[in-house]
Amino acid sequence: MSAKQTNPKHCLSIEGLKKTDVLALFQQANQFLAASGELVPLISPLTPPPLHGVVVATIFLEPSTRTQYSFELAATYLGAHVLHFNLQSSSNETKQETIVDTLHNLEAMGVRCFVIRHNTPHAVEKLAELVRPDTAVVNGGDGIHAHPTQALLDTYTLWRRNPDFSQYRVAIVGDIAHSRVARSQMQALSLLGVPDVRVIAPPHLLPEDIGKYNVTCYDNLESGLDNANVVIALRLQKERMSPALLAQMGDFHQTFGITAQTLRFASPDAVIMHPGPVNYGVEITSDVGKGPHSLILQQVTNGVALRMALLAQLVKS
Protein backbone atom coordinates (compact mmCIF):
# COMPACT_ATOMS: atom_id res chain seq x y z
CA MET A 1 0.00 0.00 0.00
CA SER A 2 1.51 3.24 -1.03
CA ALA A 3 -0.02 6.57 -0.19
CA LYS A 4 1.50 10.01 -0.72
CA GLN A 5 4.50 7.95 0.29
CA THR A 6 6.30 6.15 -2.51
CA ASN A 7 7.48 3.41 -0.17
CA PRO A 8 5.03 0.49 -0.44
CA LYS A 9 5.87 -0.53 3.14
CA HIS A 10 4.06 2.47 4.57
CA CYS A 11 0.47 3.66 4.86
CA LEU A 12 0.66 7.34 5.72
CA SER A 13 -2.28 9.04 4.02
CA ILE A 14 -4.98 8.52 1.39
CA GLU A 15 -3.18 10.88 -0.99
CA GLY A 16 -1.45 8.98 -3.77
CA LEU A 17 -3.44 5.77 -3.31
CA LYS A 18 -4.87 4.10 -6.40
CA LYS A 19 -8.53 3.08 -6.52
CA THR A 20 -7.58 -0.39 -7.76
CA ASP A 21 -5.24 -0.90 -4.78
CA VAL A 22 -7.94 0.15 -2.32
CA LEU A 23 -10.51 -2.18 -3.88
CA ALA A 24 -7.97 -5.03 -3.80
CA LEU A 25 -7.43 -4.32 -0.11
CA PHE A 26 -11.20 -4.51 0.48
CA GLN A 27 -11.28 -7.90 -1.26
CA GLN A 28 -8.42 -9.10 0.95
CA ALA A 29 -10.20 -7.88 4.09
CA ASN A 30 -13.30 -9.89 3.24
CA GLN A 31 -11.49 -13.16 3.96
CA PHE A 32 -11.39 -12.15 7.63
CA LEU A 33 -15.16 -11.60 7.94
CA ALA A 34 -17.78 -14.33 8.04
CA ALA A 35 -21.04 -14.04 6.07
CA SER A 36 -22.67 -12.84 9.29
CA GLY A 37 -20.32 -9.84 9.35
CA GLU A 38 -18.49 -11.15 12.43
CA LEU A 39 -14.73 -11.56 12.46
CA VAL A 40 -13.47 -15.00 11.41
CA PRO A 41 -10.50 -15.13 13.88
CA LEU A 42 -9.29 -15.78 16.73
CA ILE A 43 -6.66 -17.53 14.68
CA SER A 44 -5.83 -16.35 11.18
CA PRO A 45 -7.53 -18.51 8.56
CA LEU A 46 -4.32 -18.29 6.56
CA THR A 47 -1.59 -20.92 6.97
CA PRO A 48 1.06 -20.08 7.90
CA PRO A 49 -0.16 -16.89 9.62
CA PRO A 50 1.17 -14.01 7.49
CA LEU A 51 2.84 -12.19 10.37
CA HIS A 52 4.33 -15.23 12.09
CA GLY A 53 7.70 -14.14 13.52
CA VAL A 54 7.02 -10.43 12.94
CA VAL A 55 7.08 -7.97 15.84
CA VAL A 56 4.62 -5.06 15.55
CA ALA A 57 4.80 -2.09 17.94
CA THR A 58 1.93 0.32 18.52
CA ILE A 59 3.21 3.73 19.56
CA PHE A 60 0.31 5.99 20.48
CA LEU A 61 1.30 9.44 21.69
CA GLU A 62 -2.37 10.51 21.81
CA PRO A 63 -5.15 8.50 23.47
CA SER A 64 -6.95 5.82 21.45
CA THR A 65 -9.35 2.96 21.98
CA ARG A 66 -10.50 1.82 18.53
CA THR A 67 -7.37 2.35 16.46
CA GLN A 68 -4.78 1.03 18.88
CA TYR A 69 -6.63 -2.09 20.03
CA SER A 70 -7.92 -2.77 16.54
CA PHE A 71 -4.35 -2.82 15.19
CA GLU A 72 -3.14 -4.88 18.14
CA LEU A 73 -5.86 -7.47 17.58
CA ALA A 74 -5.33 -7.43 13.81
CA ALA A 75 -1.61 -8.11 14.25
CA THR A 76 -2.26 -10.79 16.88
CA TYR A 77 -4.80 -12.56 14.66
CA LEU A 78 -2.18 -12.61 11.89
CA GLY A 79 0.32 -14.34 14.16
CA ALA A 80 2.53 -11.36 15.01
CA HIS A 81 4.01 -10.57 18.40
CA VAL A 82 2.64 -7.21 19.53
CA LEU A 83 4.48 -4.64 21.64
CA HIS A 84 2.19 -2.07 23.25
CA PHE A 85 4.35 1.02 23.85
CA ASN A 86 3.44 2.80 27.07
CA LEU A 87 4.47 6.46 27.00
CA GLN A 88 4.12 7.00 30.75
CA SER A 89 6.49 4.17 31.64
CA SER A 90 8.90 4.74 28.75
CA SER A 91 12.21 6.60 28.74
CA ASN A 92 10.61 9.32 26.60
CA GLU A 93 8.43 10.72 29.34
CA THR A 94 10.92 10.81 32.21
CA LYS A 95 14.34 10.62 30.54
CA GLN A 96 13.79 12.82 27.46
CA GLU A 97 14.56 10.11 24.92
CA THR A 98 13.29 11.15 21.48
CA ILE A 99 10.71 9.15 19.60
CA VAL A 100 13.22 8.64 16.79
CA ASP A 101 15.65 7.02 19.21
CA THR A 102 12.81 4.91 20.58
CA LEU A 103 12.02 3.64 17.07
CA HIS A 104 15.69 2.84 16.40
CA ASN A 105 16.03 0.98 19.70
CA LEU A 106 12.89 -1.04 19.05
CA GLU A 107 14.14 -1.84 15.56
CA ALA A 108 17.37 -3.05 17.15
CA MET A 109 15.23 -5.45 19.18
CA GLY A 110 13.56 -6.76 16.03
CA VAL A 111 10.43 -4.64 15.57
CA ARG A 112 9.62 -4.42 11.83
CA CYS A 113 6.27 -2.63 11.88
CA PHE A 114 5.22 0.50 13.74
CA VAL A 115 1.68 1.85 14.05
CA ILE A 116 2.11 5.43 15.24
CA ARG A 117 -0.31 8.08 16.47
CA HIS A 118 1.16 11.56 16.93
CA ASN A 119 -0.35 14.93 17.80
CA THR A 120 1.62 16.83 15.13
CA PRO A 121 0.41 16.89 11.51
CA HIS A 122 2.85 15.08 9.14
CA ALA A 123 4.98 13.80 12.05
CA VAL A 124 4.42 10.16 11.10
CA GLU A 125 5.58 10.82 7.53
CA LYS A 126 8.78 12.31 8.92
CA LEU A 127 9.33 9.35 11.26
CA ALA A 128 8.76 6.95 8.36
CA GLU A 129 11.74 8.52 6.57
CA LEU A 130 14.00 7.64 9.50
CA VAL A 131 13.32 3.91 9.94
CA ARG A 132 15.06 0.97 8.28
CA PRO A 133 14.03 0.25 4.68
CA ASP A 134 12.49 -3.07 5.73
CA THR A 135 10.35 -1.53 8.49
CA ALA A 136 6.67 -0.78 7.80
CA VAL A 137 5.03 2.36 9.23
CA VAL A 138 1.29 2.99 9.53
CA ASN A 139 -0.18 6.36 10.40
CA GLY A 140 -2.66 5.82 13.23
CA GLY A 141 -3.63 9.50 13.11
CA ASP A 142 -1.39 12.59 13.06
CA GLY A 143 -2.90 15.74 14.54
CA ILE A 144 -5.59 17.15 12.25
CA HIS A 145 -3.81 15.88 9.12
CA ALA A 146 -4.78 12.30 8.32
CA HIS A 147 -6.24 9.05 9.63
CA PRO A 148 -6.00 6.85 6.56
CA THR A 149 -7.06 3.53 8.05
CA GLN A 150 -10.21 5.09 9.53
CA ALA A 151 -11.20 6.35 6.07
CA LEU A 152 -10.36 2.98 4.56
CA LEU A 153 -12.47 1.08 7.07
CA ASP A 154 -15.33 3.56 6.61
CA THR A 155 -15.34 3.19 2.83
CA TYR A 156 -14.85 -0.58 3.22
CA THR A 157 -18.03 -0.62 5.33
CA LEU A 158 -19.91 1.19 2.56
CA TRP A 159 -18.41 -1.07 -0.12
CA ARG A 160 -19.65 -4.16 1.72
CA ARG A 161 -23.19 -2.75 1.63
CA ASN A 162 -23.08 -1.60 -1.99
CA PRO A 163 -19.85 -1.60 -4.01
CA ASP A 164 -21.26 0.93 -6.51
CA PHE A 165 -19.85 4.11 -5.02
CA SER A 166 -21.61 6.22 -7.68
CA GLN A 167 -24.87 5.68 -5.77
CA TYR A 168 -23.77 7.26 -2.52
CA ARG A 169 -24.74 10.74 -1.33
CA VAL A 170 -22.60 11.27 1.76
CA ALA A 171 -23.05 14.03 4.35
CA ILE A 172 -20.26 14.55 6.90
CA VAL A 173 -21.57 16.59 9.84
CA GLY A 174 -19.73 18.34 12.63
CA ASP A 175 -16.25 19.53 13.48
CA ILE A 176 -14.57 19.22 10.09
CA ALA A 177 -11.86 21.77 10.95
CA HIS A 178 -10.15 19.64 13.60
CA SER A 179 -10.88 16.25 12.07
CA ARG A 180 -8.14 14.14 10.49
CA VAL A 181 -10.89 11.59 9.88
CA ALA A 182 -12.94 14.02 7.78
CA ARG A 183 -9.89 14.99 5.71
CA SER A 184 -9.05 11.36 4.95
CA GLN A 185 -12.72 10.49 4.34
CA MET A 186 -13.14 13.34 1.85
CA GLN A 187 -10.08 12.09 -0.06
CA ALA A 188 -11.13 8.43 0.05
CA LEU A 189 -14.73 9.09 -1.04
CA SER A 190 -13.48 11.17 -3.94
CA LEU A 191 -10.91 8.54 -4.93
CA LEU A 192 -13.57 5.82 -4.96
CA GLY A 193 -15.91 7.86 -7.15
CA VAL A 194 -18.62 9.08 -4.77
CA PRO A 195 -20.17 11.91 -6.81
CA ASP A 196 -21.92 13.74 -3.98
CA VAL A 197 -20.02 14.49 -0.77
CA ARG A 198 -21.28 17.28 1.48
CA VAL A 199 -19.85 18.74 4.65
CA ILE A 200 -22.26 20.35 7.11
CA ALA A 201 -20.81 22.65 9.77
CA PRO A 202 -20.87 26.22 11.03
CA PRO A 203 -18.22 28.34 9.26
CA HIS A 204 -15.92 28.29 12.31
CA LEU A 205 -15.75 24.47 12.13
CA LEU A 206 -14.73 24.31 8.48
CA PRO A 207 -11.03 24.14 7.50
CA GLU A 208 -9.68 27.22 5.70
CA ASP A 209 -8.58 25.00 2.80
CA ILE A 210 -11.92 23.18 2.40
CA GLY A 211 -11.93 24.37 -1.24
CA LYS A 212 -9.21 21.86 -2.13
CA TYR A 213 -11.57 18.95 -1.42
CA ASN A 214 -14.22 17.76 -3.83
CA VAL A 215 -17.14 18.54 -1.51
CA THR A 216 -20.09 20.93 -1.20
CA CYS A 217 -20.38 22.94 2.03
CA TYR A 218 -23.62 23.57 3.92
CA ASP A 219 -24.25 25.54 7.09
CA ASN A 220 -27.55 23.87 7.95
CA LEU A 221 -28.87 20.33 8.26
CA GLU A 222 -32.03 20.83 6.23
CA SER A 223 -30.16 21.60 2.99
CA GLY A 224 -27.10 19.50 3.69
CA LEU A 225 -28.89 16.28 4.58
CA ASP A 226 -31.39 16.54 1.73
CA ASN A 227 -31.79 12.99 0.38
CA ALA A 228 -28.35 11.93 1.70
CA ASN A 229 -28.10 8.16 2.03
CA VAL A 230 -25.02 8.16 4.29
CA VAL A 231 -24.74 10.45 7.32
CA ILE A 232 -21.38 10.57 9.08
CA ALA A 233 -21.38 12.40 12.42
CA LEU A 234 -18.16 13.70 13.95
CA ARG A 235 -17.24 14.56 17.52
CA LEU A 236 -16.46 18.15 18.55
CA GLN A 237 -12.71 17.99 19.20
CA LYS A 238 -12.69 20.47 22.05
CA GLU A 239 -9.18 19.41 23.04
CA ARG A 240 -7.93 20.97 19.78
CA MET A 241 -9.99 24.19 20.00
CA SER A 242 -8.67 27.57 21.11
CA PRO A 243 -10.39 29.30 24.06
CA ALA A 244 -11.80 31.87 21.60
CA LEU A 245 -13.33 29.16 19.45
CA LEU A 246 -14.71 27.32 22.46
CA ALA A 247 -16.39 30.56 23.53
CA GLN A 248 -18.30 30.82 20.24
CA MET A 249 -19.43 27.20 20.05
CA GLY A 250 -22.98 27.81 21.30
CA ASP A 251 -25.47 24.94 21.42
CA PHE A 252 -24.10 22.64 18.72
CA HIS A 253 -26.66 19.92 19.36
CA GLN A 254 -29.56 22.31 18.89
CA THR A 255 -28.34 23.38 15.44
CA PHE A 256 -26.30 20.48 14.08
CA GLY A 257 -27.19 17.43 16.20
CA ILE A 258 -28.20 14.27 14.31
CA THR A 259 -31.53 13.27 15.81
CA ALA A 260 -34.61 11.34 14.68
CA GLN A 261 -36.09 14.75 13.83
CA THR A 262 -33.23 16.11 11.75
CA LEU A 263 -32.75 12.77 10.00
CA ARG A 264 -36.11 13.29 8.33
CA PHE A 265 -34.27 15.56 5.87
CA ALA A 266 -32.13 12.62 4.74
CA SER A 267 -33.17 9.63 2.64
CA PRO A 268 -35.40 7.23 4.62
CA ASP A 269 -32.85 4.45 4.06
CA ALA A 270 -29.86 6.57 5.18
CA VAL A 271 -27.22 4.74 7.19
CA ILE A 272 -25.53 6.40 10.17
CA MET A 273 -21.79 6.30 10.70
CA HIS A 274 -19.37 7.74 13.23
CA PRO A 275 -15.64 7.04 13.65
CA GLY A 276 -15.88 7.24 17.44
CA PRO A 277 -15.50 8.17 20.16
CA VAL A 278 -19.15 9.27 20.24
CA ASN A 279 -20.47 11.98 22.56
CA TYR A 280 -24.14 10.99 22.70
CA GLY A 281 -26.42 13.96 23.15
CA VAL A 282 -23.97 16.32 21.44
CA GLU A 283 -23.32 15.42 17.78
CA ILE A 284 -25.86 12.55 17.74
CA THR A 285 -28.59 11.16 19.97
CA SER A 286 -28.22 7.64 21.32
CA ASP A 287 -31.48 6.44 19.73
CA VAL A 288 -30.00 7.25 16.31
CA GLY A 289 -26.41 6.20 17.08
CA LYS A 290 -27.60 2.87 18.49
CA GLY A 291 -30.60 2.50 16.21
CA PRO A 292 -31.32 0.09 13.35
CA HIS A 293 -29.71 2.29 10.68
CA SER A 294 -26.45 2.67 12.59
CA LEU A 295 -23.25 1.09 11.24
CA ILE A 296 -21.10 2.42 14.07
CA LEU A 297 -20.16 -0.91 15.67
CA GLN A 298 -19.96 -2.63 12.28
CA GLN A 299 -17.34 0.00 11.36
CA VAL A 300 -15.33 -1.12 14.39
CA THR A 301 -15.54 -4.80 13.48
CA ASN A 302 -14.73 -4.11 9.83
CA GLY A 303 -11.75 -2.07 10.97
CA VAL A 304 -10.04 -5.14 12.38
CA ALA A 305 -10.48 -7.04 9.11
CA LEU A 306 -9.33 -4.08 7.04
CA ARG A 307 -6.27 -3.61 9.24
CA MET A 308 -5.45 -7.32 9.03
CA ALA A 309 -5.43 -7.04 5.24
CA LEU A 310 -3.33 -3.89 5.38
CA LEU A 311 -0.73 -5.25 7.83
CA ALA A 312 -0.37 -8.47 5.84
CA GLN A 313 0.23 -6.46 2.68
CA LEU A 314 2.68 -3.95 4.17
CA VAL A 315 4.81 -6.53 5.94
CA LYS A 316 5.16 -8.75 2.87
CA SER A 317 5.99 -5.75 0.56
The residue ranges that bind ligand CP (CB under 6 A) are 64-67, 141, 147, 150, 275-277
**Minimal distance in Å, beta carbon 65 to ligand CP?**
4
* Nearest CB to ligand CP, comparing residues 147 and 183: 147
How is the chain classified by DSSP, letter by letter?
A: --SSSS-TTEE--STT--HHHHHHHHHHHHTTB-TTSSB--SS-SSSS-TTTT-EEEEEESS--SHHHHHHHHHHHHTT-EEEE--STTSHHHHH---HHHHHHHHHHTTEEEEEEEESSTTHHHHHHTTS-TT-EEEEEEETTTB-HHHHHHHHHHHHHH-S-GGG-EEEEES--TT-HHHHHHHHHHHHTT-SEEEEE--GGGS-TTGGGSS-EEESSHHHHTTT-SEEEE----GGGS-HHHHHT---HHHHH-B-TTGGGGS-TT-EEE--S---BTTTB-HHHHTSTTB-HHHHHHHHHHHHHHHHHHHHH-
Nearest-CA neighbor of 59 among 153, 148, 1, 141?
Answer: 141
* Nearest CB to ligand CP, comparing residues 66 and 122: 66
**Minimal distance in Å, beta carbon 226 to ligand CP?**
27
CA dist 133 → 4, 5, 103, 213, 317 (Å):
17, 13, 13, 32, 11
**In the chain, how long is the greatest CA-to-CA distance?**
57
* Nearest CB to ligand CP, comparing residues 184 and 313: 184
Pairing label, strands 216-218, 81-84: unpaired
**Minimal distance in Å, beta carbon 276 to ligand CP?**
5
**Minimal distance in Å, beta carbon 194 to ligand CP?**
20
**Minimal distance in Å, beta carbon 222 to ligand CP?**
28
**Minimal distance in Å, beta carbon 60 to ligand CP?**
8
* Nearest CB to ligand CP, comparing residues 7 and 184: 184
**Minimal distance in Å, beta carbon 72 to ligand CP?**
11
Nearest-CA neighbor of 287 among 266, 261, 265?
Answer: 261
* Nearest CB to ligand CP, comparing residues 65 and 255: 65
* Nearest CB to ligand CP, comparing residues 257 and 275: 275
**Minimal distance in Å, beta carbon 253 to ligand CP?**
20
* Nearest CB to ligand CP, comparing residues 79 and 145: 145
* Nearest CB to ligand CP, comparing residues 151 and 266: 151
